[in-house]
Structure 1
């Protein structure tokens, strides 16, 4: 998808052309100093480890693939385990960068301080948490926040679709959603249920959003939620629910435009990466973050289905580098 092999192929071709050019020049090449600037990218080496949010994963993975295509001697590994687990790995010193679909918590900041470390917050894109249904579902294409709360709140008695609206089918709702370590779970429960991290428990959870996609796409009576990118990637087998903040409001579907202008309420939010401050001294991490915040990195965020931030926010991120 990100043409990594094409870029690597072009790098190899360029190397052969350069080799033959030098041979043709004979001893003349020995008399002229090498252009150090042109080889700067190849001087980078090292390993960069990233873990955390499944929502941010597509962006970081896309950036990592393109960055490695340019810098062959840098290995960037991106895993997904949920925002909370990403912060745990950052605290434990297992990774240099945490992906997060929520802001870092005070207790996580304190745990990092106890290890002599500090995280640097860098927003990377806007997301709109998307409530999805099976394409055969033609009754719940629009829902209010109150209806979603009725389904997802602690102690919910909703078992069938008809329990939400008597005009809807008297068929069981099969629910899919992020696990409790997910920042998307925390944001959704706060925005919809009114209290973060409080939700009914009788649903199928997973930190891997592809599992949720499979569950909803395979069951006419299923419903779930996850980051906008996963909906964009699977529009052929999922439908997005348009959300109304109340009965009197117009229903708004999640789109790049509605997420960007904030009209997709209340599920639009920024997503982040958190490099540990001590790692910013490493040249390979500095260059990786510069690429992440560059126009190319912003384009990759949009390519995988998110909304780029205003240019000044990326500039502010770059100002945090040494």
Structure 2
């Protein structure tokens, strides 16, 4: 079974194809994963947040279906939808719902988007482990830091009691669904942000940046904080109802103000392809057990059942 340390540490390349030839009984009766001669190729791209889940599911699925090759890449939610609309990929990982223009582009190409929720995530605001002055940040403070043309250059600019030391900022690039969600929730308008920060679609790059700078601040998916908590400090966020720390419980009950569902998108027409249909069934059955193993929060069982029912109805 998957271990988080093995998984997250391996997210270095922007594209990875995982091959496995072992057999297992984990997927028996799941609608896939019984090694019954299934074959084909499935290409997945999109969100770096959802990437660890899809990578884990892909490897386990291929162990039980060695005739199917599943390739998982990460170019950001927006980049993934662009490739999907061009029919360069079969499934698109997304850390936010598809936008109207993305949906229109997909439909123009003959795709019929089917949204499949797969887990919960909570965008985590983090500082360096040595930071001993920041425990909480309000939405107003985060907006002051991250809004376009921000005047914040030092920690003292945020709170006069904090050190007069420059803030080194790390965050996702503009193709990221995490960027879209964070800017909409915190800045108040999707896609609006200061630009003088270190951007990357690879969350491990952001982890390493914050971990290597005593006065850094960054944000990314909860699983990446959870895996690297020995070198990062998570900040409680106050969205108006008090400062809340992201955790399995606060993300699940959405009391943490930066909680969100994450998705996989499929083309309704492609659900007729046996390998895609069986992979998605596997994702929502055996795969839901892998969600926790890679640091995310599973949906309620009834939500996975709704997903399976949706696949059946489509």
Q: Same fold (TM over 0.5)?
A: yes
Aligned to 1:272: 263
Matching residue within 184, 209, 214 for 1:215: 209
**Structure 1 match to 2:85:** 91
- Structure 1 contact 149–192 (Cα < 8 Å) conserved: yes
Please point out which of 235, 241, 254 is paired with 2:246. Answer: 254
**Residues 142, 46 of structure 1: alpha-carbon distance in 2 compared, 3 angstrom cutoff:** same
Q: Take 1:185 and 1:39, find their aligned partners in 2: how far apart are those partners? A: 35
Task: Report the alpha carbon displacement of residue 302 of structure 1 after superposing the two structures with TM.
Answer: 1.2
* 1:277 CA drift (Å): 1.5
Residues paired across the two proteins, number? 292
In the TM superposition, residue 319 of structure 1 has moved relative to its aligned partner by 1.7
Match in the other structure for 1:281: 272
Note if 1:185 corresponds to 2:179: yes
Of 101, 104, 107, the match for 1:110: 104
CA shift in 2, pair 1:97/1:169, >3 Å: same
Residue of structure 2 in register with 1:2 after alignment: 2
Task: Please tell me whether residue 136 in structure 1 is matched to residue 126 in structure 2.
Answer: no
Q: Deviations over 1:21-77 (max 9, x none)?
A: xxxxxxxxxxxxxxxx99952411111000000010011011001101111111100
- Which residue number in structure 1 is paired with residue 28 of structure 2? none
Taking the aligned partners of 2:23 and 2:171, their CA distance within structure 1 comes to 42
* SS of match in other structure, 1:55: coil
| SS of residue matched to 2:96 | coil
> Closer, same or farther in 2 for the Cα pair 1:280/1:167, shift >3 Å?
same
What is the match of residue 305 of structure 2? Answer: 315
When residues 211 and 306 of structure 1 are mapped into structure 2, their CA distance, relative to the original with a 3 A threshold, is same
Please list every run of 5 or more consecutive structure 1 residues that lacks an aligned counterpart in the other structure.
12-36
Q: Distance in 1 between matches of 2:103 and 2:122?
A: 26
Tell me the distance in 1 between the aligned counterparts of 2:33 and 2:254.
43
Query: Aligned-pair distance for 1:94?
Result: 0.6
Alignment of 1:1-322 (within 5 A): 2=2, 8-9=21-22, 40-246=34-240, 249-265=241-257, 267-294=258-285, 296-322=286-312
Q: Deviation per CA, 1:171-223: give whole Å up to 9, x if none.
A: 00000000000000000001101111000010001111111001000000001
Contact 1:90 1:276 in 2 (8 A): no
Give the deviation of 1:10 after TM superposition: 5.4
How large is the Cα RMSD of the aligned pairs? 2.0
Q: Secondary structure at the match of 1:121?
A: strand
Tell me the distance in 2 between the aligned counterparts of 1:38 and 1:204. 42
Check whether the contact 2:33–2:64 (CA below 8 A) recurs between aligned residues. Answer: no
Question: Displacement of 1:239 after TM fit?
Answer: 1.0
Q: What is the deviation of 1:321? A: 2.2
Structure 2 CA distance for aligned equivalents of residues 134 and 92 of structure 1: 40
Question: What whole-Å deviation, never above 9, does each CA across 1:233-271 have from its counterpart, x for those lacking one?
Answer: 11111111011124xx43210000000111101x00100
TM-score (normalizing by structure 1): 0.87
Distance 1:40 1:309 in 2: 25
Distance 2:170 2:183 in 1: 14
1:42–1:73 CA contact under 8 A, matched in 2: no
Displacement of 1:2 after TM fit? 2.2
**Structure 2 residues not aligned, in runs of 5+:** 7-17, 25-30
